[in-house]
Amino acid sequence: MNGPSPQSGGAGGPDPAAVSNMFGRIARRYDLVNHLLTAGIDVRWRNRLVRAVAATSPDRVVDLATGSGDVAFALRRALPAEVDIAGLDFCRPMLDEAERKKNERGGGANLTFTFGDALDLPLPDAGTDAVTIAFGLRNLADRARGLREMHRVLRPGRGHLFILEFTQPARWIRPFYFPYLRHVLPRLAGCVSGDQAAYRYLNTSIEGFPSRESISREIEAAGFEDVRCQPMTGSIVTLHQARKSSAIPRHRPSR
């Protein structure tokens, strides 16, 4: 089953409607394909993210682009039961998968899944201790706006941002990695998911994504400080961390 691949949106990123449509088509087999294509290493990447979040002892965590909820469920297992965890996504079929998994696994009243656009979060200012986004920053139509929204909802001084994303790999792995992305991954994923076009988009979105240094500068430009990045698995993936300053800005960033 195929559909239109995401094209450039109004701010240079992918078209939101096409992204939502694409993820909706692959929602039921999304987890299976992820584990298959990464040989299960995606679990280790998410666990690294969760450990970093837990180290900040948050009371409320918001997981953006939560998809089928893997990060939210991992957070639920790692954090105390009283910590409030909200998973937000703008793709209804992916949220349906997250709800289905919650019905099977449990998670308690403090784990919720809600429709929400990362570019216009339905959240109050300065009410969140930690914002996570795993493999979703790449899909935002306007990264700068999304990062400003993440900054807005975090508590000054206490609020932390965690971004897990594919980035440009180390030079030694590129001769193997890029051919895998271009030729093997779409075919393999297409056989399992029935939608090869969606995984061609994955390839192009990864190859065209900025370096971890560039993303760090974008995070700083959104108003964050203490920006750090931790490359993993030959720099295929990077965990970015940052903190919202306790200082009150003179002017609220434009949205």
Q: What is the pLDDT of residues 100-145, one digit of tens each?
A: 999 999 888 999 999 999 999 999 999 999 999 999 999 999 999 9
- Estimate to the nearest angstrom the gap between the alpha carbon of 97 and the chain centroid: 16
Residue with tokens 């560039």: 214
Strands (E), 14-151: 60-64, 84-89, 111-115, 130-134
Q: Which domain holds residue 117?
A: 16-173+212-244
- Residue 71, in any domain of the structure: yes
List the CATH number of the domain containing 28: 3.40.50.150
- Tell me: the pLDDT tens digits for 43-56? 999 999 999 999 99
Q: Are 105 and 35 in contact (CB under 8 A)?
A: no
What is the model's pLDDT at position 4? 38
Higher pLDDT, 107 or 64: 64
Residue 74 lies in a domain: yes
Q: Residue 250 pLDDT more than 50?
A: no
3-state helix, strand, coil in the chain (%, to 5): 45, 20, 35
Q: How far apart are the first and last CA of the chain?
A: 37
- The DSSP letter of residue 183 is I
The residue ranking higher by pLDDT, 96 or 13, is: 96
Domain-located, residue 198: no
Cα–Cα distance measured from residue 150 to residue 153, given in angstroms and rounded to the nearest whole number: 6
Residue 253 belongs to some domain of the structure: no
Residue 199, domain member (yes or no) = no
Any domain includes 51: yes
Q: What would the mean pLDDT of 19-46 be, rounded to a whole number?
A: 81
- pLDDT 10s digits, 196-216: 676 677 778 888 899 999 999
Q: Which residue has the higher pLDDT, 178 or 9?
A: 178
In a domain, 184, yes or no: no
pTM (predicted TM-score): 0.89
**Distance (Å, whole) CA 104 – CA 237:** 30
Structural domain count, the chain: 1
**pLDDT higher than threshold 50 for residue 10:** no
Percent above pLDDT 70 for the chain: 89
Residue 185 pLDDT more than 60? yes
Residue 185 lies in a domain: no
Two tokens at 106? 């449990």
The answer, yes or no, to whether residue 34 has pLDDT greater than 80, is no
